[in-house]
Structure 1
Amino acid sequence: MKILWKGLGTILMMVGITVGQSIWGGGWTVYPAAAAQPMQTMTDFAAHPARESILLGLQKGFIWKYPDGRFYPDKQIVQSQFVASLVAIRGIKETAPVPELPAGHWAKGTYERAKKAGILTDIKIDPNKLLTKEEAAQLVFNAWKPYRGVKMNGYTNTGALITWGWMDPAPAGQPKFREDLPVTRGDAAKMLAYLWKDKGQLELGAKWAEEFERSLIIKNGVLKGKVPTGSNDFAIMASVIPINNGMRGFLNGELINVKISEYKPFIVFSIRSKSDSSNVGLYQYSIPSLDKENRTIQFSSAKLGGNNE
């Protein structure tokens, strides 16, 4: 029996994902998806711990209900559902061959897009496979490598994702990093919500970094520029370090005007979310060349804590 999310069909609009056969009646069904979906009655997830994440995913179009209008948050998620959501969040359109699936297979289009983006690296393709934490975490790290790099050394995929904060630990009384536990659709919605938010914030950070870079000039030994005004949801700061130590910071919308001879030869530009203090952009510019180095926090640079006991 194939378990599919509502919105998965032979065509997934906007990103062109090909997925799924309906489990009701066994026939082919085409659903609109990858776009905001009409908000329906919350039916079976109104009181669920993942309620807000499920609502976000339905609104943004990266998760789907079943054809009967229910979400089934406590069902174990299958590989094709999770892969389709990752493809939708990444907005992948290009494809690469997936010979493991025959021509005409209901999931082939989805998997071809996932293959192109590296999401299927070291993954055994099985669209109907019920996912464990370790399997879901590996897919997350594969999908997010372009944004946050590789996972932390010395940890399983599960342990690394729990440490990063995007996967819940095992229930109390069990080993914190149990890799074999099932991943429910509610669990998946929570992880996917983190990815959606992180991608959007990183894109904003990169946009503001480009705006900041365009403003920088050095003339007659003076560095001038402007910190982007940005948004009230983010703290944006450019920092210079005086030769005699200390720090001087310029915040959202402020103008920069400093003698470069009085400061160390670099300026740091950072963007931080005010809601959770997450780093959504960190760049360093050399003075006087103004060459840029991207130092946005990577998975591998996270401060690790806890143990797998």
Structure 2
Amino acid sequence: LSVVSWNVNGLRSLLKKAPRALDELARRTDADVLVLQETKLGADGRGAVDGEGEAPKFLREYGTREYATSTARKGYSGTAMFIRDGDWAKMKRVEATRLSAGGFDDEGRVLTAELDSCFVVNAYVPNSGADLKRLPERVEVWERAIREHVRALESRGKAVIYCGDLNVAHEEIDLWGRHAENSKSAGFTPEERAAMTRLLEECDLVDTFRAHRPDARAFTYWSYRAGAREKNRGWRLDYILASRRLADSIVDAYALPDVLGSDHCPVGLRVAL
């Protein structure tokens, strides 16, 4: 099974700048499941990019196409999932997921798919904000709710693949530098990092990239400011986590920093199921 995740920082914007970007990514990675975050679509998400009653303009081989959009704020947040029918990705259902996580539930942040072989959860985890205003709600409400969701899926007897922009650099190796200074910044606070550790431990998940490449210094997000990408001053905020039972079946786990079009790059997982 090949799963690829990308925060596109605006789906319409990406398709306008690079109409073939997603098709090229799908071809390069042979993705069975392609998930996107920060799509920034309105309530008419599907119609806005796929057209009404038309053949899709992109990813035509992916018959299952689901969008979750923000009803709280137009052009904000949002997720999408595209599934290609095949031996590895026979689809049972996919739906936008409400976590009972307060206002976050109105922001289109989670999609959950049940395949024959596993569950796939696509999440755009809330950013705690420049002033950490949302940090308490992020850690105390969102993180608890997502742990409960993953555990509930696990209890149904299938492995879980949890992926997306998780908005945390978990370990020091996941951040380019200035660790003490950035410990007061969204994405590297002790509270967010501890919540990630708790997620991995309580839900018995593995960080597939770190399991496959324990010493790799790789990033998935670079600020548009100060030439951060050119200097590789990045953060690893994008992950594909998987049930520990899949750890020995990881074929590859990777990031694709050469793929442009967003301030994030895609990440991927190939696992033998």
Give the TM-score category using the shorter length. Answer: under 0.3
Higher strand residue share? 2
TM-score normalized with structure 1 length: 0.25
- Higher Rg of the two aligned structures: 1
> Which structure's relative contact order is higher, taking Cα pairs within 8 Å and 6+ residues apart?
2
